Each structure stands twice: as C-alpha cells, then as structure tokens.
C-alpha cells in the first residue's frame, strides 16, 4: 500500500492564520510530507467558499510546491473540468508537469458544488458532456505535437500546445467519483480512480470500484497496473482520548461548512463508532489508527491510502506533529 496526502483546505478565519501565512504553512506541510515518505500530495479545487475555496487554482499551488520539493508527486484532486476551457487546463497543468520535472498526477471530476457552476455560467445539466469531451481533448493536446478537435462544445484546427508535459504520452489521469457509470467510464479509458471514505458507507463505493476494474479488463487494460486511491481524514496522537476530542471537533466543523458548500441540510451527529469500525475516519493513538486503516482495507478496495491531516481548523504545528507520529508509528505497519 502506498501513502499519499490530500488537502481540501477548510478555512476558518477565527482558527486559521491570514492567507499569506496559511499558504506558507501548506508549503511547509508538503515539504515535510516529502521528507517523511509520502509519495504524492493532492490539492482540491473549490471556489467561493471556506470549504476548499482558499485553493481555487490547484495548478498555481502545485507550481509553488514544485519549486519547494524534488521527489513528491503533485496531484489535482480534482480539476473541475466543466467549469473551464480545456485548453487552458491543458496549458496550466502541462506547466506543472514541466516545472516539477514530470511529477504531475492529473485528477479530474465533475465537481459537486452547484454554486460554482452558477457563478462560472456553465450549465449544470451539460456538465457530464463537457467533462467527458474536455478530458478527451486534454489527453489529445498532451499526446500530439499538433492536434485538431471537432466536438459538441469545442472545435479547433491544427493547434500546438506549449509547453508539452514531460511525461509521455501524457501524465497519469485519475478520475474522482463513486458511481458505477462514472468509474466505469474511467476504466474504459484506462484511467486511475479516486474515492472518498467519509461521505458514503463501503457498500455504496464498492460497486463503482468493481465496475472500474471490469471496464479496465474489457477495454484491454491491465487492472494490476492501475490504481485506486481512498481519501480518509486522519489524526494520530500518543494520547487516544486527546486524539478523539481533537479529531471529532474538527470533523464537526468540516461537515458543517461542507453542507453549506454542497447546498445540503446540516448534518446530525455522526455515528463515530461505526465510521471508525469500517475505516471511514481514522483517528486515535498509533495502534488505533493502524486498526482503523486495516478496517478500511477490509471494507474498501484501494492500493493508495490518501491521508488528510489539515482539516477543520487544525493547527499547523499540531498537523506536523501528527504527520511525524504517523510516519514513525503507523506507516511501517503497512510496508
């Protein structure tokens, strides 16, 4: 199992520092993740909300991270393709791959916040068509010295993209989702996938992953050479009770602003015990976190475990302390 790290910045003005400091703290955490052995750091795109909105352009943050690191891969989780012109996306992320010398992991998705589409002026009902056509166009732009495209939403003749990515024929593509339709589409195109543990119980996620594997095989792709990433909120502390109190308070704050951004009713109190028991959250002392990850392995299907430490107003120095403890006491149990 490989370890990645995920950042969906939940910004609380009363808990988090001003943005110039906040961004430098994120870059510090990425450098530490590389030092401690995480293999990729992922950035989520959101807009106009404290739920993810502080990083509206992951490519810009990834370029800054590329200049501060040398080994860790940098991923978009996700680039919300229906919001953007695909040529602009192709250019932005090609630059990330070049600036990082081939460390880009390109994650894509439909997006899940209706307000983004309203403000950007992209019809919500067209998002699936725009997303699939944009993905096809970006891969074509990266894989050819010159390309043409005639689609429903975009048409181009004899275009050259500068710069082209370092990775050939193109950087790895990852698709976020949970449905059998969406992940099956990813499998047919030979893409990797990303799933999230906390929104849905395992029985809602497994059919989509199964559909992805079946589609990979049917399209002639070897499932053994493709990856499924599971994203989980993680907190580890030497003191189990302190870990529980800190993590559950942060999860409550996360869920509250998530519901606002996703335009959903405010959630009730989570079933903490059952979420831990199946690995949908992972927090506690090192032994408890190991058992929670083992539970995730038993209930979900993945080969990449993507940890989120920076969520719900966690303090920077405490995030780094938890990361160090995880790398020292938890990671070795899975290698």
How far is the C-alpha of 240 from the C-alpha of 235, rounded, in Å?
10
Is residue 3 within 8 Å of residue 35, measured between CB atoms? no
Give pLDDT, residue 225: 95
Supply the pLDDT for residue 232: 98
Q: Evaluate if residue 113 carries a pLDDT over 90.
A: no
Element (H, E) at 206: helix 202-218
Q: Count the alpha carbons within 13 Å of 282 in the hemisphere toward its beta carbon.
A: 28
pLDDT on residue 207: 97
Beta bridge partners of 108: 79, 175
Residue 156 three-state SS: strand
pLDDT tens, residue by residue, 155-214 = 999 999 999 999 999 999 999 999 999 999 999 999 999 999 999 999 999 999 999 999
pLDDT at position 194, please? 97
Segment 224-239 mean pLDDT: 98
> Tens digits of per-residue pLDDT, 236-295?
999 999 999 999 999 999 999 999 988 889 989 999 999 999 999 999 999 999 999 999
What is the pLDDT at residue 55?
Answer: 94
pLDDT at position 125 is 87
Closest CA relative to residue 114, chosen from 177, 185, 47: 47
Residues 6+ apart with CB under 8 A from 111: 45, 78, 80, 82, 83, 117, 127
Lowest mean pLDDT among 91-95, 123-127, 181-185: 123-127
pLDDT of res. 142: 98
pLDDT of residue 124: 85
pLDDT of 112 reads 85
> Does the pLDDT at position 310 exceed 90?
yes
pLDDT tier for residue 53 given thresholds of 50, 70 and 90: confident
Q: Which pLDDT does position 54 carry in this prediction?
A: 92
- Looking at the DSSP bridge assignments, the partners of residue 175 are 108, 193
Average pLDDT value for the chain: 96
Q: Is the pLDDT of residue 3 over 90?
A: yes
pLDDT at 262: 86
User: How far are the Cα atoms of 56, 196, 241, 308 from residue 251, in angstroms, in the given order?
Assistant: 22, 14, 15, 11
Amino acid 329: pLDDT = 98
Domains along the sequence of the chain with CATH: 2-334 (3.20.20.30)
pLDDT at 123: 87
Residue 309 has pLDDT above 90, yes or no: yes
Q: What is the gyration radius of the CA atoms in the chain, in angstroms?
A: 19
pLDDT of residue 114: 86
């Amino acid at each position: 199992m490989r370890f990645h790290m995920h950042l969906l910045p939940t910004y609380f003005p009363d808990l988090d520092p001003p943005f110039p400091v906040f961004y430098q703290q994120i870059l510090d955490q990425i450098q530490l993740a590389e030092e401690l052995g995480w293999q990729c750091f992922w950035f989520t795109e959101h807009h106009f909300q404290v739920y993810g909105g502080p990083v509206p352009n992951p490519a810009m943050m990834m370029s800054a991270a590329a200049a501060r690191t040398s080994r860790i891969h940098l991923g978009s989780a996700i680039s919300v393709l229906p919001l953007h012109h695909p040529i602009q996306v192709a250019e932005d992320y090609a630059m990330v791959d070049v600036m990082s010398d081939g460390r880009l992991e390109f994650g894509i998705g439909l997006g899940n916040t209706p307000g983004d589409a309203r403000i950007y002026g992209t019809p919500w009902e067209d998002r699936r068509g725009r997303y699939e056509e944009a993905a096809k166009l970006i891969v074509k732009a990266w894989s050819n010295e010159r390309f043409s495209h005639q689609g429903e939403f975009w048409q181009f003749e004899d275009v050259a993209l500068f710069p082209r990515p370092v990775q050939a024929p193109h950087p790895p593509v990852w698709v976020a989702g949970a449905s059998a339709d969406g992940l099956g589409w990813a499998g047919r195109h030979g893409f990797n996938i990303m799933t999230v543990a906390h929104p849905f119980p395992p029985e809602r996620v497994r059919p989509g992953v199964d559909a992805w594997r079946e589609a990979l095989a049917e399209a002639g792709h070897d499932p053994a050479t493709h990856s499924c990433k599971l994203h989980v909120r993680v907190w580890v502390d030497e003191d189990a009770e302190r870990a529980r109190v800190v993590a559950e308070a942060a999860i409550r704050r996360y869920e509250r602003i998530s519901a606002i951004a996703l335009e959903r009713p405010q959630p009730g109190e989570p079933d903490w015990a059952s979420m831990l028991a199946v690995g949908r959250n992972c927090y506690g002392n090192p032994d408890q976190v190991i058992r929670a990850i083992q539970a995730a392995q038993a209930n979900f299907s993945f080969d990449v475990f993507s940890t989120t430490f920076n969520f719900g107003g966690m303090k920077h120095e405490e995030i780094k302390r938890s990361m160090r403890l995880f790398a020292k006491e938890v990671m070795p149990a899975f290698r």
